[in-house]
Amino acid sequence: MDASQLDPADVAELYAQHAAELRAFLTGVLRNADWAGEALQSTFVKAAESGHTAQRETIKGWLFRVAYNEAMLLRRRQEVDQRATRKVAWQLNPESAAVDSGLLQQEVIERVRRGLDTLPFDQRTVVRLRIYEDKTFSQIAEELGIPLGTVVTRMRAALQKLNRELGEM
C-alpha cells in the first residue's frame, strides 16, 4: 500500500482478509444480500483503482468508508428507480383505481396545488422546477445560480411543510 498502484495480488490479499467482514457490514447497512454483494464488488473495484492512496495502517478503515459510501450510492439509486417505476406504473394504468377515485384524485391535486401556493417563493420555485419540469437538483441549482445544497434544503423544507399541511391523504 505504498505510493504505487495496487497490483491484482494486493487487491486479492485485501479481499481475502476483509471481504467477509465487509459483506456482513454491508448486509447490515443495506438489509439485502444481493445489494451487499454489489456494493462489495464496487468497493474492491475502488480499491484496485485508488487503494494506493490509503496507508497500510489505515487500509481497513479506508475499505469500510468506501464500502459505506458505495452502499449509500446504491441505496439512492434504488430509491430513484423505485420512484420512477411507481410513477411510470401509475401513468400507464391510472384507470386501475376505483371509478370514484377520479374525483378523489382531483380533490387531492387541488389540495396539493393550494398547499404549493402557501410555500415561500424560493421553496415553491424549487418544487415546481423539480416536479413539473422534471429537472434534476443540479439543473435547478445551475438555473437559479445557487448552491446544490441550498436547492436540496429548500426542497426538503417544502416537502416537510406540505406534508404537515396536507396530512394523510
What are the chain's domains? 8-85 (1.10.1740), 97-166 (1.10.10.10)
The stretch 96-107 carries a mean pLDDT of 56
pLDDT of residue 159: 85
pLDDT of residue 92: 52
Joined grid coordinates for residue 135: 429537472
The stretch 73-82 carries a mean pLDDT of 83
What does the pLDDT look like over 41-72, one tens digit per residue? 999 998 888 877 878 888 999 999 999 999 99
pLDDT of residue 36: 93
pLDDT of residue 63: 93
Least confident of 25-39, 70-84, 93-107, 129-143: 93-107
pLDDT at 2 over 70: no
- Going by pLDDT thresholds of 50, 70 and 90, the confidence category of residue 80 is confident
What does the pLDDT look like over 109-168, one tens digit per residue? 677 778 888 889 999 899 888 877 788 999 999 999 999 999 999 989 988 888 887 774
